[in-house]
């Protein structure tokens, strides 16, 4: 009999209960015990939801208070010495200090680095490896949560991140040491984990090794063989080796040969690998087939999924397969039933995490009992898919024709950067080491309250606009008082950097509770791109013009780029992603040109998701990078030389795509560098990046307020490898998640650091600021 298998479930709760509890705990409004109780309530509800749906293999240890990779580092004792960990059981204070930093009068420690989880918008905390660490089992979380579920009458399948992927996702803190050199120190801890879980009664353990879908060298492949030869010695436990986000490809033989009892493959992102997997995997192993999309929200084509499953059953028998989601459902919202305002037609096309449980269960039933047992459900599914395919809401001939008419000349500035720079220096007149911010300012409780009141109709458009004008004026004043050179309006009218634009564009729809986790307590509500995209009217000009009217300093126009809008949305799956991106690029191009006409001379087009969209296999990179660069240039190249184009990227590794970043031809790029102590600049310096760069000088994802000396030291590192004329001074990212009590002193310190370095550089004759 086939079994149903879920790889992970959303952690945040249907109404973001985890976010609210975490932020209350960090503020000191609730106790440690209250936070733990709320977390247990969410876990219990998740397990019951899956049990009620008829799922056989329900995951445990997929829940986390911040990040599952941080959880694994805590479990293994991979804890940097600066956090003063006692070496016993991981405590919440240490755990959150690793994630967020700590500054409490007694202690001042920075957070660990954070980066993107493969090609998703989820961020994980990067473990730090150093030989002076005495790695040891340091958290009972995986055992406690298994027992917690068991006491509730639910048998679960514990989930752990596998040893090789854990190490390859980590960062070495010593020169000349390879991450895999630590494998012998970690394997005994993994053995202890497996043995204890077996003693507690676990039958299956899901051991995630997503690195198996990447390009691996021989040393890395050898590490997999070594690791699993050791783990095989734990008898009485079944290991489900779990891969996702892509095809095993040339690692299939390796994965199939490892001494485990089951293998999970992603047949949504890599459907063509099925035949090869069926041929490579011995029939004494279980094959888990990921046929329900864990990363998007469209209904599964059940007939197509069933055909895939039936092919596997014919080859292996139903007793040797599992019906599964492609990956963890972490990347999807919790429950479509919470969307009471979504129109009926669109809602009928969608499936959130809870509905995907039903899809997995239904497909499993069809395999075990025959299609006849689910004919009504298959018919309803087919009707929903046909309704979507034929809907007039999806296709706009004018948009499609405009994309066909894109000329190569639309993707190039009139002159190269070396000539544009002269025009911009003359027009803008900024000092050496100009200071700015990335865009957003604190979204205070009052801002959120007024936005909610406006959406509910409790206040009028005029009242809401008056409030936004007041907040914008306040932000402009605070920036002037800090003596920042290039200002921003603060984005108080925006709920999210993608959702805001989606609300102004045709072809987008919006959910009320479609939240997914980005990191920690940070949740986003991705728009749904269901049809062709166009811009019916200007989106940002009103607020940029208003803010510019308040000051004689330069005001930056703030936009989100086409690739990021694509990546951070739930994207239609009925046309190539490239086509959708070009449609968005044309809409942003129109907005850029309107901002320029309105007198905005500096325009930032954020692309933090540029690298996130990169395919996992290097052989597939060129195609993506070509159209992604083209989309950015399409959006940015319709302006005069004197108009300065900025872009922003955060939490990305740039070494292997630096030529494509240069090809984007932005006049200024700002990047996250503070957590890495400016290490991310290495790629730009080796490449001899010719344009201007704003390396982030303080980490906005931490509540710490660094002093001006700390920022000056980081800037000095940048000056060691870049010319003074290249450098901008800015935070790592937007400031919407921070409070004014943190933001104001941090920005004052940032400007102080820039001014001190200007003096040291003896540039007292820097040009004066031009009138806007």
pLDDT for 597-646, tens place per residue? 999 999 999 999 998 899 999 999 999 999 999 999 999 999 999 999 99
CA distance 487 to 506: 30
Q: Using an 8 Å Cβ cutoff, are 731 and 697 in contact? A: yes
By the 10 Å C-beta count (0-12 exposed, 13-18 middle, 19+ buried), 555 is classed as: buried
Quick one: pLDDT band at residue 764, thresholds 50, 70, 90? very low
pLDDT at 268: 98
Q: State which H helix or E strand residue 480 sits in.
A: helix 461-482
pLDDT at 766: 45
By the 10 Å C-beta count (0-12 exposed, 13-18 middle, 19+ buried), 622 is classed as: exposed
pLDDT > 90: percent of the chain? 85
pLDDT at 133: 76
Query: Of the candidates 120, 116, 124, which has an alpha carbon nearest to the alpha carbon of residue 71?
Result: 124
| Predicted confidence (pLDDT) at residue 451 exceeds the cutoff of 50 | yes
- Which residues are known catalytic residues? 701
Q: Using an 8 Å Cβ cutoff, are 133 and 127 in contact? A: no
Q: Using an 8 Å Cβ cutoff, are 667 and 415 in contact? A: no
| Predicted confidence (pLDDT) at residue 712 exceeds the cutoff of 60 | yes
Q: Which is more confidently placed, 441 or 236?
A: 441
| Predicted confidence (pLDDT) at residue 664 exceeds the cutoff of 80 | yes
pLDDT at 768: 43
Q: Which is more confidently placed, 764 or 655?
A: 655
Grouping H, G, I as helix, E, B as strand and the rest as coil, residue 693 is strand
**Chain segment 368-386, per-residue pLDDT in tens:** 999 999 999 999 999 999 9
Find the radius of gyration of the CA atoms of the chain.
Answer: 26
**Chain segment 407-420, per-residue pLDDT in tens:** 999 999 999 999 99
pLDDT at 680: 65
| Predicted confidence (pLDDT) at residue 293 exceeds the cutoff of 80 | yes
CA distance 109 to 330: 30
Q: Using an 8 Å Cβ cutoff, are 595 and 540 in contact? A: yes
| Predicted confidence (pLDDT) at residue 164 exceeds the cutoff of 90 | yes
pLDDT at 677: 66
* Average pLDDT in the chain: 94
| Predicted confidence (pLDDT) at residue 739 exceeds the cutoff of 80 | yes
Query: Of the candidates 92, 72, 285, which has an alpha carbon nearest to the alpha carbon of residue 193?
Result: 72
Q: Which is more confidently placed, 678 or 418?
A: 418
**Which tokens in the block code for residue 114?**
């954070």
By the 10 Å C-beta count (0-12 exposed, 13-18 middle, 19+ buried), 148 is classed as: middle
Give pTM, 2 decimals.
Answer: 0.89
Question: What is 498-527 written as a DSSP string?
Answer: THHHHHHSEEEE--SS--EEEETTEEE---
| Predicted confidence (pLDDT) at residue 770 exceeds the cutoff of 80 | no
pLDDT at 652: 62
**Chain segment 209-224, per-residue pLDDT in tens:** 999 999 999 999 999 9
Average of pLDDT values for 547-562?
97
Q: Which is more confidently placed, 261 or 85?
A: 261
Core vs surface per residue 344-363: b (16+ CB within 10 A) or e: eebbbbbbbbbbbbebbbbb
Grouping H, G, I as helix, E, B as strand and the rest as coil, residue 420 is helix
Return all residues near 219 (Cβ < 8 A) that are at least 6 apart: 178, 180
Please provide the distance, in angstroms rounded to a whole number, between the alpha carbons at the two ends of the chain.
72
CA distance 182 to 168: 11
């Amino acid at each position: 009999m086939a079994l149903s298998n879920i790889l992970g479930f959303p952690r945040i709760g249907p109404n973001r209960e985890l976010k609210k509890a975490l932020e209350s705990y960090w503020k000191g409004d609730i106790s440690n015990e209250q936070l733990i109780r709320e977390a247990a309530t969410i876990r219990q509800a998740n397990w019951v939801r899956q049990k009620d749906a008829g799922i056989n293999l329900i995951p445990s240890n997929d829940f986390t208070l911040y990040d599952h990779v941080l959880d694994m580092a805590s479990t293994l004792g991979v804890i940097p010495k600066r956090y003063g960990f006692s070496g016993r059981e991981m405590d919440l204070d240490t755990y959150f200090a690793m994630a967020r930093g700590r500054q409490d009068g007694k202690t001042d420690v920075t957070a660990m680095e954070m980066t993107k989880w493969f090609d998703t918008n989820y961020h994980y905390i990067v473990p730090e490896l150093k030989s002076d660490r005495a790695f040891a089992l340091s958290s009972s979380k995986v055992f406690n949560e298994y027992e917690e579920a068991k006491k509730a009458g639910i048998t679960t399948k514990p989930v752990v991140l596998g040893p090789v992927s854990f190490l390859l996702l980590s960062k070495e803190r010593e020169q000349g040491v390879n991450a895999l050199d630590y494998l012998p120190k970690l394997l005994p801890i993994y053995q202890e984990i497996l043995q204890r879980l077996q003693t507690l009664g676990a039958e299956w353990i899901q051991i995630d090794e997503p690195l198996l879908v990447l390009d691996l060298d021989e040393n890395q492949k050898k590490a997999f063989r070594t690791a699993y030869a050791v783990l095989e010695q734990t008898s009485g436990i079944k290991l489900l080796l779990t891969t996702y986000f892509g095809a095993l490809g040339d690692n299939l033989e390796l994965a199939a040969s490892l001494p485990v009892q089951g293998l999970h493959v992603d047949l949504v992102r890599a459907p063509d690998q099925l035949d090869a997997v069926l041929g490579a995997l011995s029939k004494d192993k279980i094959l888990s087939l990921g046929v329900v999309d864990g990363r998007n929200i469209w209904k599964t084509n059940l007939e197509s999924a069933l055909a895939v499953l039936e092919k596997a059953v014919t080859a292996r028998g139903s007793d040797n397969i599992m019906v599964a989601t492609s990956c963890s459902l972490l990347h999807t919202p919790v429950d479509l039933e919470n969307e009471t305002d979504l129109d009926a037609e669109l809602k009928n096309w969608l499936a959130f995490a809870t509905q995907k449980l039903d899809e997995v269960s239904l497909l499993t039933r069809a395999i075990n009992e025959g299609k006849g047992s689910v004919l009504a459900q298959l018919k309803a599914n087919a009707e929903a898919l046909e309704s979507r395919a034929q809907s007039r809401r999806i296709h706009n001939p004018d948009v499609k024709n405009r994309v066909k008419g894109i000329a190569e000349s639309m993707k190039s500035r009139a002159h190269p950067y070396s000539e544009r720079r002269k025009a911009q220096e003359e027009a803008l007149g900024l000092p050496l080491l100009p200071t700015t911010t990335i865009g957003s300012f604190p979204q205070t409780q009052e801002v959120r309250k007024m936005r909610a009141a406006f959406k509910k109709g409790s206040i009028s458009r005029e009242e809401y606009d008056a409030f936004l004008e007041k907040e914008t004026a306040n932000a402009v004043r605070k920036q002037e008082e800090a003596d920042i050179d290039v200002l921003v309006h603060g984005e108080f009218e925006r709920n999210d950097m993608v959702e805001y634009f989606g609300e102004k564009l045709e072809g987008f729809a919006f959910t009320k509770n479609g939240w997914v986790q980005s990191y920690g307590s940070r949740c986003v509500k991705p728009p749904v791109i269901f049809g062709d995209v166009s811009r019916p009217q200007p989106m940002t000009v009103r607020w940029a013009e208003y803010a510019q009217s308040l000051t004689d300093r330069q005001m930056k126009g703030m936009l989100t780029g086409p690739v990021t809008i694509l990546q951070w949305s739930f994207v239609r799956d009925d046309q190539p992603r490239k086509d959708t991106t070009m449609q968005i690029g044309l809409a942003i191009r129109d907005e850029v040109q309107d901002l320029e006409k309105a007198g905005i001379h500096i325009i930032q087009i954020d692309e933090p998701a540029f690298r996130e969209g990169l395919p996992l296999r290097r052989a597939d990179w060129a195609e993506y990078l070509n159209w992604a660069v083209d989309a950015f240039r399409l959006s940015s190249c319709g302006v005069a030389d004197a108009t300065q184009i900025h872009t922003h990227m955060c939490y990305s590794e740039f070494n292997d795509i630096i030529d494509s970043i240069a090809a984007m031809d932005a006049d200024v790029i700002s990047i996250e560098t503070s957590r890495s102590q400016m290490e991310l600049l290495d790629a730009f310096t080796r490449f001899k990046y010719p344009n201007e760069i704003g390396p982030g000088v303080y980490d906005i994802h931490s509540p710490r307020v660094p002093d001006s000396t700390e920022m000056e030291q980081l800037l000095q590192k940048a000056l060691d490898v870049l010319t003074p004329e290249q450098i901008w001074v800015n935070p790592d990212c937007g400031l919407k998640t921070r409070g004014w009590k943190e933001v104001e002193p941090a920005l004052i310190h940032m400007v102080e650091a820039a001014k001190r370095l200007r003096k040291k550089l003896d540039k007292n004759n820097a040009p004066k600021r031009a009138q806007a």
